[in-house]
Amino acid sequence: MRRPNKYESGEATQYISRRTAIRRLQISLNDFRRLCILKGVYPREPKHRRRAQKGSSEIKILYHAKDIRFLLHEPIVWTLRDYKIFAKKTGRDRAIKDFRNLKRRLALYPEIKLDHIVKERYPTFIDALKDLDDCLTLLFLFSTFPSLHLIPREQSNLCRRLTIEFLHYLIASKSLRKVFISIKGYYFQAEIKGQKVTWIVPHYYPFKPQSKHEVDFKVMSIFVEFYTIMLGFVNFRLYHGLNMAYPPQFPSSVLQDNPETLKDESTFVSDRIAALNFELLRTDKVQEDEEDPDIDMELLEQDGDSKRIIKMKQDAQEVARLRTLFKGLKFYINREVPREPLVIIIRSFGGKVSWDSTVFAGATFDEADETITHQIVDRPSLTKQYISRDYIQPQWIFDCVNQRQLLPTNKYFMGEVLPPHLSPFVDAKRDAYIPPEERALHDPSLIETHAQSDDESEEEAADEQAEQMLLDAQLERAFHDENIEDKKYGGRDGVSKEDEEVPSDEDEDDEEAEDDEEEELDPKTKRKLEEQQKMSVQSGKVHKVNKRQVHKAEVDEHRLQARMVKPRHRDLFRKLIREKQSKEKEEWLLRKKRRNIEATAKEAKKTAKREARKAAATAAASAAKLSSK
């Protein structure tokens, strides 16, 4: 058997460069990029790059040879070649002005069909749901681009319709679980067929100018081309699972892309939200409230009382309560509040929502409706208010969903400083800095009844004592004039206050007698008193830790650990140490930020108290002067 030459086996034959792949497929670079995106083929990083590149030291884009052979048998390759021929022939017809033949060729435009690729990449429906995160995030982004010249108008309209259909499924199935507000947008997490799907609905910036150099929208539109086909199949399957007609029929007044609608941002957004506040038709007569939960509680009760079964029961009960969290509540949204995320959340948990019908379309009831329970406001005050409803800020909706209960509304009133908006997507038992508000949520015993710790309370006590002394001094000065007048005229009752406070000679004699008795005690009695004092319970003293010695012990221990590591594991050990140091630094920065915030709030609180006491002292002094006159 012939011995293979160098680079004829191993990694040199397993990887192929992009230039060689394009030459084998006989397509252009743009078509190759499009084909790789649609088929899910990506560059690979070899274990030994020099071997994979046959001794070359330059960095090349490498693909696996199996992936390229996989692309050779793809029918889309022939469609791309037909499109190349189509472009040449239509260009020739335009050049010779043969418009009759050009019209005939345009009718035979080679269209790419991606149905078989969706079935090939996702053999089962659960596989498609697992990969739905990126799909929804990208389609929600493209659905907010009505006037971007780099993206086809039909593509953004299709994204908008598909995302609205998916949101209607969430509302009908009540499968939303977590929500969060961030700088990027609104995070949503739903549980569909046992799979957790998380995506972002971005804030609306569709009419802002987009720079061509920042983002390659052509590459992103290729992803969108595949994801629209995928989400269409997913929506079809989800709707039929709920016995709902697909595609859903929306009113003729919404989702109509006219030139006026595409020019006005508020109208464009309003049409989308109006479509979300519309009830869809069902193919059966089952009501939403009568739908059975995903887990059969009777079946769980028969299985036993193991820890796993008990946890499943508790989770099922929490989800059942969460699905009807806003049931029986009616919300009215003011015009300054972003409506789309609130409409999705409120309707997904059984509530009813409306807004000003004179400004936006799709309203179901007016502001004067007496059955409204909550009005969502994002301004400090309102001129007209109703007694029968609560005026809350939008964060109350998000916090209620994340904590799975209706929270008290007193912390979310108009003009109130809102509590921290905590993310529900972090692990509660993580080894990192956890804010005290988050710890108090998971463990109610950690809720601080006093605002400060012992040290802070001592500082505040000292400050209050100093301020009280200052206040007493001011009051003494205020009453000084009154006392002088009382002395002049013999006091109000004929006796001055100084005469009342002078101690008598008999009291002084009693005190001297007690001191003499203490000196005349026997030595045995004194010893017994000393022993009793030693046996008495005394307050403990704080043990001061020497931080320098503790730090030195930690450094010595770390050096011993580093010496015991084997040479082949040193890189891994250094990597672990760097990760630990970065976590400690991040935690230290967060704690420092928290300390600065608390110090600022404490100083503002002290300033407010000081000003209040000064005002009280001034008022007392003025009242004393008036009474003396």
CA distances from 495 to 347, 427, 480, 487, 492 (A): 78, 74, 16, 8, 7
Query: What would the mean pLDDT of 165-191 be, rounded to a whole number?
Result: 92
Q: What share of the chain is helix, strand, coil (3-state, %, to 5)?
A: 55, 5, 35
Return the higher-pLDDT residue of 481 and 150.
150
pLDDT band at 493 (very low <50, low <70, confident <90, very high): very low
Question: Which pLDDT belongs to residue 348?
Answer: 92
Return the higher-pLDDT residue of 293 and 79.
79
Fill in the amino acid letter for 353. V
Stated length of the chain: 629
Q: Which residues contact 449 (CB under 8 A, 6 or more apart)?
A: none
> Of 246, 251, 273, whose CA–CA distance to 144 is shortest?
273
Query: What would the mean pLDDT of 222-234 be, rounded to a whole number?
Result: 93
Query: What would the mean pLDDT of 204-223 be, rounded to a whole number?
Result: 73
CA distances from 93 to 84, 107, 108, 110, 130 (A): 15, 14, 14, 17, 47
Domains of the chain: 11-107 (no CATH), 115-289 (no CATH), 307-446 (3.40.50.10190)
Q: What is the DSSP letter of 213?
A: T
Question: Which pLDDT belongs to residue 306?
Answer: 75
Residue linked to tokens 């397993």 = 14
pLDDT band at 393 (very low <50, low <70, confident <90, very high): very high
pLDDT band at 498 (very low <50, low <70, confident <90, very high): very low
Question: Which pLDDT belongs to residue 625?
Answer: 81
> Of 457, 417, 464, whose CA–CA distance to 612 is shortest?
464
322 neighbors 177 (Cβ within 8 angstroms): yes
Q: Classify 571 as helix, strand or coil.
A: helix
Query: What would the mean pLDDT of 593-613 be, rounded to a whole number?
Result: 90
> Of 25, 401, 409, whose CA–CA distance to 178 is shortest?
401
pLDDT band at 1 (very low <50, low <70, confident <90, very high): low
pLDDT band at 63 (very low <50, low <70, confident <90, very high): very high
262-292 per-position pLDDT tens digit: 666 667 777 778 888 877 766 665 554 444 4
Max mean pLDDT among 29-43, 283-297, 476-490, 534-548 falls in 29-43
CA 108, chain centre distance (Å)? 49
Question: Which pLDDT belongs to residue 515?
Answer: 54
In percent, the amount of the chain with pLDDT more than 90 equals 28
Q: Which two tokens stand for residue 628?
A: 């003396």
Question: Which pLDDT belongs to residue 511?
Answer: 53
Fill in the amino acid letter for 167. L
Query: What would the mean pLDDT of 34-40 be, rounded to a whole number?
Result: 91
Residue-averaged pLDDT of the chain: 81
d(CA 400, CA 325): 8
Lowest mean pLDDT across 128-137, 147-156, 318-327? 147-156
Question: Which pLDDT belongs to residue 212?
Answer: 57
Query: What would the mean pLDDT of 370-380 be, rounded to a whole number?
Result: 91
Query: What would the mean pLDDT of 392-421 be, rounded to a whole number?
Result: 91
> Which secondary-structure segment (H or E) carries 227?
helix 217-241
Lowest mean pLDDT across 43-52, 221-230, 305-314, 466-475? 466-475
Fill in the amino acid letter for 67. D
Per-residue HEC secondary structure of 182-198 comes to: CCCEEEEEEEECCEEEE
Q: Which two tokens stand for residue 40?
A: 């899910």
d(CA 111, CA 233): 19
In percent, the amount of the chain with pLDDT more than 70 equals 78
Q: What is the DSSP letter of 521?
A: -
pLDDT band at 492 (very low <50, low <70, confident <90, very high): very low
Lowest mean pLDDT across 335-344, 418-427, 511-520? 511-520
